[in-house]
A = this chain, B = another copy of it.
Amino acid sequence: MSEQQTLYRTHRAGELRKEHAGQTVVLTGWVQRRRDLGNLIFIDLRDRSGFAQVVFQPTEEAGSQALMAQGDKLRGEYVIAIEGVVAEREAGAVNAKIPTGEIEVKVSKVEILNAAKNTPFYIQDGIDVDENLRLKYRYLDLRRAEMQKIFLLRSKVTTYLRNFMDHNSFIEVETPILTKSTPEGARDYLVPSRVHPGEFYALPQSPQLFKQLLMVSGFERYYQIARCFRDEDLRADRQPEFTQLDIEQSFMSMDQFQEMVEEMMTGVFQATMNVEIPRPFPRITYREAMARYGSDKPDVRFGLELQDLTEQVRGSGFKVFNMAIENGGEVKCIVAPGCASYSRKQIDELEAFVKRYGAKGMAWIAVQEEGVKSPIAKFFSEEEMAAIIAQAGAQKGDLLLFAADSKKVVADSLGALRSKLGKELGLIDESSFKFIWVTEFPLLEHDEEANRYVAAHHPFTMPMEEDLHLLETDPANVRAKAYDLALNGFEIGGGSMRIFRREIQERMFQALGFSREEAWEQFGFLLEAFEYGTPPHGGIAFGLDRLIMIMAGRQSLRDTIAFPKTSSASDLMTQAPSPVVTEQLDTLHIALGGKALSGVEKQEAEETEAK
């Protein structure tokens, strides 16, 4: 190997073209591929920009033999610097498939900057490798072009978003990571204090309180690309730490603010992916979204809406339908186009699927050429059946799939079935991006376990003025000035106007079951702040990792985070978390304790890594 680098890059490999022919260039990068043709050695030299072919070729000149000997040593992933002259390839050797396919570089000098062992997997796109291996060798996984592309996109997206914010007079302010634990919301990550024995910081689930206090401070327009933390059980679309674009503003109306967000979102798609998205985005109330799509983050790239047949079947001979209706539930169906010929086995599989969402069974009607086929046909007259089919908007060849249960189970099961069928029946244009605002969320949700109301968004969300009088008498029916932004069936942003007067915030805490003392102990500084001239304000937070995942067409958040954790919150590369020495714990005034997981449980946790 060369003792020291003396050749420094003049060009990027992937950017060389015919017009560079004749120029002497220095390239630095990795050996992507090496072909030895006896007296010629071809190297694909890769850098972040792409790759170019470089050629070792014997000449009459002194040193040629040494150069060939160097070329002979090169192997995949060696790091090299070469100097050479760009030459047009002969006609037969042109490769039209690659951007640098018209040229090659005739090497005159080479420096081997580092050697490389065989990598545990190939550095190329579309490899079929266990994800745990990719995560252990994340630094190699990230070397692959398809991964680099995601992080280049991510960088472009954040740059666009920041510039947009700057141009709209939002200023970035950093808020603390070492902050205070609050009992609402998800589980906190805690950090023991060395200076204050027995006390803990918490890592923020969001900068919510700080950004509201910045509004009290008169910053008027704040944003931050902020790291947030939730110690929850993980799934493919959750990570213990995640990044959000966090925005808060004073004095704008809800409409003005949503319009600005739409401009930002269409702008980022235009600027980074050259995708045009029409504005304004459609808006739908929570109630309507649940009714039509069975989801509060509907994927509106396709139809397949839920059809309400409650009135049609009320009082029919079919007990299952009647029971559901009598219990305050409803009867709805999805019309699966062209599926009337589904086999019994196919239908059984769909039934098994909806049962996972709480459905007890699934009635169906197949509108076949030769007539209606259905296990529930006997409960309905021909006219009734025809009316059901007409009401559902079904055509010949369609299959009606029913849910009859509580509103929640009907929405959950048919909502999930809709997504599944949308994909399986090819109803979704995978290249399209469809935004929709969901508004008028319930302010509160009843937590059956705790037997109290909890905040549907968070305790600082402003109730709709027209529902405010219901806060004490009918809390379940108070709607919030909240607006979520959904994209292709994912919630990518959640926002609301905030409470900015103390008496309303105190009523809210009361509705959540806080005593006055508890409210002041936890949030006294906020309640007090409201008394010193707090402006009307509101904001939103976007899940940046998820947005990038959708934009990049990936299935896992892990592909959008450079060094992600597994589903058991481990970093397989650095082996975090890890044991620490007892002195460290002593210094922090803590000891190991509590109920330890058994060996079996621990093993199970490890086996679910990366799932």
Instruction: Check A171/B152 contact, CB under 8 A, given A142-B219, A525-B574, A580-B190.
Output: yes
Q: A196-B605, A594-B585 are in contact. Are A229 and B178 (CB under 8 A)?
A: yes
**A194 in contact with B231 given A218-B48, A590-B594, A595-B589 (CB within 8 Å):** yes
A119 in the interface (beta carbon within 8 A): yes
Closest to A6 in B: B253
Residues in B with CB closer than 8 Å to A227 are 174, 177, 227
Interface 9-residue window, one of A324-332, A425-433, A450-458, A533-541: A533-541
Which label, helix, strand, loop or mixed, suits the secondary structure of the A interface?
loop
A175 at the interface (CB under 8 A from B): yes
Q: Assess whether A28 is in contact with B251, with CB atoms less than 8 Å apart.
A: yes
Bound form: Cα–Cα A203–B577 in Å? 11
**Complex interface bits, A167-198 against B, C-beta within 8 A gives 1, otherwise 0:** 00001111111111101000111111111111
The answer to whether the Cβ of A339 comes within 8 Å of any Cβ in the partner chain is no
Residue of B whose beta carbon sits closest to that of A179: B576
> Is there an interface contact between B190 and A172, defined as CB atoms closer than 8 Å?
no
Most B Cβ at <10 Å: residue of A155, A179, A534 = A155
Beta-carbon contact of A159 and B166 below 8 Å: yes
The answer to whether B594 and A589 have CB atoms under 8 Å apart is yes
The residue on B at minimum CB distance from A225 is: B174
B77 in contact with A532 (CB, 8 Å): yes
Q: Is the CB of A584 within 8 A of B181?
A: yes
Q: With a CB–CB cut-off of 8 A, which chain B residues contact A584? A: 181, 188, 190
Is there contact, CB below 8 Å, between B593 and A591?
Answer: yes
Residue interface mask A588-607, B partner, CB < 8 A = 1: 11111111110000100100
Q: Are B199 and A534 in contact (CB under 8 A)?
A: no
Check if B199 sits within 8 Å of A579, measured CB to CB: yes
Are B565 and A178 within 8 A (Cβ)?
yes
A562 in contact with B199 given A213-B139, A589-B596 (CB within 8 Å): no
The reply to whether B532 and A117 contact each other, CB–CB distance below 8 Å, is yes
**Interface membership of chain A positions 220-246, coded 1 if the CB is closer than 8 angstroms to chain B and 0 otherwise:** 110000010101000000001101000
Complex Cα spacing A28 to B250, Å: 9
Verify if A569 is at the interface (C-beta below 8 Å from B): yes
Shortest C-beta distance, A111 to chain B (Å), equals 10
Indicate which residue in B48, B176, B180, B571 contacts A176 across the interface (CB closer than 8 Å): B571
Question: CA of A179 to CA of B595 in the docked complex: distance in angstroms?
Answer: 24
In the bound complex, how far is the Cα of B251 from the Cα of A28, in angstroms? 7
Contact B142 A251 (CB under 8 A): no
- In contact, A8 and B589 (Cβ under 8 angstroms): no
Question: Contact at B194–A578, with CB atoms within 8 Å?
Answer: no
Could you list which residues of chain A lie within 8 angstroms of chain B, going by C-beta atoms?
A: 1, 3-5, 8-9, 28-31, 46-48, 77-79, 81, 113-117, 119, 137-140, 142-143, 148, 151-152, 154-155, 158-159, 162, 166, 171-181, 183, 187-203, 209-210, 213-214, 216-221, 227, 229, 231, 240-241, 243, 250-253, 256, 465, 500-501, 525, 529-536, 561-563, 565, 568-571, 573-581, 584-597, 602, 605
A-B contact pairs, 7 of them (CB 8 A): A174-B243, A189-B201, A196-B570, A200-B577, A213-B573, A586-B594, A590-B592
